[in-house]
Structure 1
Amino acid sequence: MTDRTVNDKNREPLAALIGSLPALVSNLIKAEIDQVKTKAAHLGSYAGKGAVFVALALIFLFFAIGTLVAVAILALALVLPAWLSALIVFVVFLLIAVVLALIGVSYFKKMSADPNPIESVKKDIRAVKGEGEYDRY
């Protein structure tokens, strides 16, 4: 782009200003595209670093939960034999896992109960033809 003062632009004929419009629009679009590329690179960089830290946090959380399980076993071992406390904690976790699995299976069953879009389209086609069940007004 050339450096022009305000007075230079005022003296240019309208045709010259209109002639420079495509170049200005092209430069503007290129600048916007470059800005979007830069922003995408920054977002990708931040997202990658954030994902690494979240993954590290999840790893530490995994070991913290294991430590909490050990604390529960040791606390029960104060009043019961150690093997029995470990067995009790195991059974509690097993029951929790079974309940969560049953809840998950029920959601999968609900997923298959949703109406099929293809069947809905077929029903609409039959309704247009005047066949099958449909609401009549």
Structure 2
Amino acid sequence: MSDADSAPKRSLLQLLSALPGLVSDLIRAEIDALKAELKERAIRAGIGIGLLLAAALFLLLAVMVGVFAAIAGIATALPLWASALIVFGGLLIIAIVLLLAGVAALKSSGSGTDRLGSIGEDLRTLRRTGRGTVPPTDGQEA
């Protein structure tokens, strides 16, 4: 009888002694996953910002060519300013395409709340467990 009573107590103590290490490992894993997710989103946001800067540069060039086209159109015959307007239109199309690509890249970078929500759920579960309540198994709050 004494041996039967001591075996469950020993495994319970072993489980309880392993609990802080498991919680620590869980928190570290969640933080590492959050870092990786934020790094990926920062890279996508950086690409989007780079594309927006390129679009701004081409827009500046398009404005400069447009000003040149207006001056050339007033000062000389039609062929010079017509060719300048063709270049202006081409640069403007490039700027618009880069602008749309940059905006799309920034939108796809997201907000980063997915991993934070998971960490928050872990903390709520730990708090409920610490109060002696059993965490729900269907994902709803107790």
**TM-score using structure 1 length:** 0.41
Bigger Rg, structure 1 or 2? 1
Please report the TM-score for the alignment, with normalisation by the length of structure 2: 0.40
